[in-house]
A and B are shown apart, each in its own frame.
Chain A
């Protein structure tokens, strides 16, 4: 579904991604862990074309999305992304946030978009908040609206960039529950997170990244219980205890 080949990203002299090769198959949930500054977020942003890769290739299905003539807007419609800072549009209601791209990008009729929007907001447990503005919602509710907004475009895959990191601890679960449901429904997901419990429960694969490289890759149980690489070990020790 998503494949990167020798992906590099430089910001000036800063070499953030130093040759990333990964492959996520349809329906898989890949969890990316690693210390801050290891390039996890940059990797997701490259896949969603929010950043241009310096070199290397990215494939979505069999299409190379890093080729020069590609329509980036079309690609982004097929890959949903959820951000750490929610980034809800503050001047629109929850329903407005979820339906705006349907109406303006897909040119869908308003009633049809509303139908989809209400369905998705119900799915994330916010049926009674469809007319609320972001400022009236808690962090967990905002993030669930953001997930519904990304799902509205009916994407082939979803990218989650530390989506629970900005939440108060008691609000983390409601967001993770939505993500777990999504994973079980067969959505292809790439998840950057520090939630090890979530990773253990739903991850098909776990990747440990450090300094712009994939250091270790494997099943969640392998990585968490028997990390092979010393750097993975050090990181897990620091995070888990």
Chain B
């Protein structure tokens, strides 16, 4: 039974957890701020990118494809490091929080653009034709007919993307942003006890679980609405 006592003492020390909790909550707040703002900008980037992509405007589409390929095909950690440490050499000096949001938003935008593209392409072609036959321009058709229908369909995958982003934002710890994971690691060193990691894990779950449940609910509702 010695093993279990050690485990409890090391990873589940209530005393330590209570002591570090205020710091962790601050970290959690940063995690939420960073992921929410990156999701926000990611959606704007992704929406614009996907609309350009499906419009089949050749040259810009290639840029979009290259962007999506690069940001989905390389590690996010690398993108964060490049944004913060490499960009200053070309004269772009971003403070760490801004560099973090830029890197996360661009990364998220690449994924979101694919989500939107799939969503737009899932709308029946007849919708576009009906709108165009009324004299609507391509932009008007997208704005009033296609995108509103797309948003309903992509809400579940977008929420999933937000969950992924919340976890991925922990990578910002490499550029010294005191989000939840970094804070909990610092607390671990301070208290010489890793219970703060456990506490951080629970906080991550408290943030993400409602979101993953929301996805399930949205999917069910969507299915009902379309039948």
Contacts and interface: CB of A to CB of B under 8 A. Distances in A.
B149 interface: yes
A105 B126 contact: no
Interface residues of B, number: 19
A90 B127 CA distance: 9
B135 A89 contact: no
B90 interface: no
Contacts of B130: 81, 83, 87-89, 146, 149
B54 to A, nearest CB: 17
Contact of A91 (B124, B131, B140, B148): B148
Given A90-B149, A91-B149, A100-B144, A76 B132 contact: yes
A104 B133 contact: no
Interface in A69-121: 73-74, 76-77, 79-81, 83, 85-91, 100-101, 104-105
A149 B126 CA distance: 15
18 contacts: A50-B129, A50-B133, A73-B132, A73-B136, A73-B137, A76-B133, A79-B133, A81-B130, A81-B133, A83-B129, A87-B127, A87-B130, A89-B130, A90-B149, A101-B136, A105-B134, A149-B130, A150-B133
B140 to A, nearest CB: 6
Contact of A153 (B127, B134, B145): B134
A42 interface: no
Given A87-B126, A101-B134, A149-B130, 20 more contacts: A50-B129, A74-B135, A76-B135, A77-B134, A80-B134, A81-B133, A85-B124, A87-B124, A87-B127, A89-B127, A89-B130, A89-B145, A90-B149, A91-B149, A91-B152, A100-B134, A104-B136, A104-B144, A146-B130, A150-B134
B190 to A, nearest CB: 53
Nearest to B136: A105
B130 to A, nearest CB: 4
A96 to B, nearest CB: 10
Contacts of A81: 130, 133
Contacts of B145: 89, 100
Interface in B136-160: 136-137, 140, 144-145, 148-149, 152
A164 interface: no
A49 to B, nearest CB: 8
Contacts of B135: 73-74, 76-77, 101, 105, 153
B132 A50 contact: yes
Contact of A105 (B124, B129, B140, B225): B140
Contacts of B124: 85, 87
A48 interface: yes
Interface string A115-147: 000000000000000000001000000000010
A76 B127 CA distance: 15
Contacts of B137: 73
Nearest to A49: B132
A190 to B, nearest CB: 13
Contacts of A77: 134-135
A88 B133 CA distance: 12
Nearest to A78: B135
Contacts of B131: 89
Contacts of A85: 124, 126
Nearest to B146: A89
Contacts of A101: 134-136
Nearest to A76: B135
Interface in A36-85: 48, 50, 73-74, 76-77, 79-81, 83, 85
Contacts of A105: 134-136, 140
B75 to A, nearest CB: 39
A90 to B, nearest CB: 7
B129 A87 contact: yes
Nearest to B145: A89
A171 B149 CA distance: 28
Nearest to A48: B133
A8 B145 CA distance: 31
- Closest 6 CB pairs between A and B? A77-B135, A87-B130, A87-B126, A101-B134, A81-B133, A76-B135
